Amino acid sequence: MVQGRDRRRYSFTPQPSGTRWYHTHAMAGHNLRIGTYSGQFGMVVVAPRSDPARYDLEVPILLHAWEPYFDSDMRMDVAFALYSVNGKMLGAGEPVRVRRAQRVLFRVVNASATLGHRLALPGHSFTVAALDGNPVSTVQKVPVLQLSPGERVDAIVEMTNPGVWILGEEDDAQRAAGAGIVIEYAGARGRPQWSPPPKHVWDYSVFGATQPAADPDVRHPLVIEPGKDGNLWAINGKSYPQTDPVILRRGGRNRLIFDNRSSMDHPVHLHRHTMEIVRWAGKPLSGVRKDVILVPAHQTVEADVVASNPGLSLFHCHQQFHMDFGFMALMRYSS
Ligand SMILES: [Cu+2]
């Protein structure tokens, strides 16, 4: 906790390697000026001891939405007036300058408080190398990157289509309000071009491995439902701070079963651990390791956590408005 006009110094050994980020974790509630609504975030790249990835240029892409407001008198839905990539609206900042035949590594962070984003780059595709900083089991080429709040994607783009392009949000209104950045090939001229990507359904399982995941030692059902008594969200019938702590078996393989009985998507996030997705929207998989996992509306998602980092850990939805209104719990280990 860093108070106003306060100063703190922490030192730590960063691990695991990969694309990470930092942000304020303040509860915002109805105050849309603090927490992840604010600009208090940034990217942290933990370099591996040896780097097997091969690329010519590394480009950070931080997505954020600004000037939040309540979309209705009920003060339940947050909307945003402006969008940015790396702090600039589309067209306002410097373009990303590339050359033909370069392999460009885009490190993308969705630093939005509440919104998922889908990104495309006309005339190019994304080869996804890592999710939430962790290398994927199957490197896969996709036309669209989809990121829920808090998620990260590392993707390599082969620059084979000279021109001036928009790397942007698929949604026209958001792109018009700033959600994009210009990609400019050396020697290319003209207005930045956009065309809608082919229809594409984002599915974590394409990045997985073929062998089934190991059986868990213990299962933890987590039912996600709308809350009562003014709380929007509940986990197993209770809203934070009343939520029951989730007690993981120390050293064991703990299976978290997210049963989303609501009509909204939830990007669930666990601090201090990495979860391996073992079932996503009906499909079994393994080898996809993340710390934020999208649990789609009316779907069940299962993910395994090896309990090897004792202490209190926070579990919550990374959608700020959900987290602030009940969707949070503590996790600790059995003694
Ligand atoms: Cu949520």
**C-alpha to C-alpha distances, 75 to 112, 149, 235, 240, nearest whole angstrom:** 18, 20, 22, 19
Residue 219 CA to residue 254 CA, distance in Å, equals 6
Lowest mean pLDDT among 67-76, 83-92, 240-249: 67-76
Contact 302, 258 (CB under 8 A): yes
CA 174 / ligand 1 centre spacing (Å): 21
| Structure-block tokens of residue 287 | 């080898």
SS (H, E, C) 177-200: CCCEEEEEECCCCCCCECCCCCCC
Counted residue by residue, the chain has a size of 335
pLDDT of residue 142: 98
Exposed e or buried b per residue across 231-246, where buried means at least 16 C-beta atoms within 10 angstroms of its C-beta: ebbbbeeebbeebeeb
Tell how strand 218-226 and strand 103-110 pair up: unpaired
Contact 67, 59 (CB under 8 A): no
- CATH number for the domain that contains residue 278: 2.60.40.420
Q: At 52, is the pLDDT very low, low, confident or very high (cuts 50, 70, 90)?
A: low
Mean pLDDT within 254-263? 97
- Edge-to-edge strand list for the sheet holding 253-260: 233-235, 218-226, 253-260, 300-306, 275-280, 283-290
pLDDT of residue 278: 98
Mean pLDDT within 179-198? 98
Same domain, 229 and 196: no
- Which residues have CB less than 5 Å away from ligand 1 (the ion)? 266, 317, 319, 322
Contact 240, 328 (CB under 8 A): yes
pLDDT of residue 4: 87
Mean pLDDT within 247-259? 98
Number of domains in the chain: 2
- If DSSP codes are grouped into helix, strand and coil, which group holds residue 323? helix
Residue 313 has pLDDT above 90, yes or no: yes
> Measured at the alpha carbon of residue 50, what is the angle toward residues 45 and 56, in degrees to the nearest 5?
65
pLDDT above 90: percentage of residues in the chain: 90
Alpha helices in 106-151 (DSSP H): none
pLDDT above 70: percentage of residues in the chain: 99
Same domain, 87 and 222: no
CA 29 / ligand 1 centre spacing (Å): 14
Residue 127 CA to residue 158 CA, distance in Å, equals 9
Peptide bond into 196 cis (omega under 30): no
Residue 78 CA to residue 62 CA, distance in Å, equals 20
Same domain, 79 and 166: yes
Same domain, 83 and 157: yes
- Say if 110 falls within a structural domain: yes
- Say if 310 falls within a structural domain: yes
Q: What is the pLDDT of residues 292-301, one digit of tens each?
A: 999 999 999 9
- If DSSP codes are grouped into helix, strand and coil, which group holds residue 151? coil
CA 265 / ligand 1 centre spacing (Å): 6
Same domain, 164 and 255: no
CA 123 / ligand 1 centre spacing (Å): 34
Peptide bond into 14 cis (omega under 30): no
- The dihedral region occupied by 80, where left means phi > 0, alpha psi between -120 and 50, and beta the remainder, is beta
Q: At 74, is the pLDDT very low, low, confident or very high (cuts 50, 70, 90)?
A: confident
Lowest mean pLDDT among 14-18, 129-133, 202-206: 14-18
* Domain extent at residue 259: 218-333
Residue 89 has pLDDT above 70, yes or no: yes
CA 172 / ligand 1 centre spacing (Å): 24
pLDDT of residue 230: 67
Same domain, 172 and 232: no
**C-alpha to C-alpha distances, 272 to 53, 106, 267, nearest whole angstrom:** 25, 25, 16
Residue 75 has pLDDT above 70, yes or no: yes
Q: Where a domain ends, among 201, 227, 249?
A: 201
CA 317 / ligand 1 centre spacing (Å): 5
Same domain, 284 and 325: yes
- Say if 7 falls within a structural domain: no
CA 203 / ligand 1 centre spacing (Å): 19
- Say if 251 falls within a structural domain: yes
The ipTM value here is 0.90
Neighbours of 333 (CB within 10 A): 18
Residue 299 CA to residue 95 CA, distance in Å, equals 39
Same domain, 142 and 252: no
Mean pLDDT within 78-94? 97
The CB-side HSE value for 98 (13 A sphere, CA atoms) comes to: 30
CA 121 / ligand 1 centre spacing (Å): 28
CA 267 / ligand 1 centre spacing (Å): 6
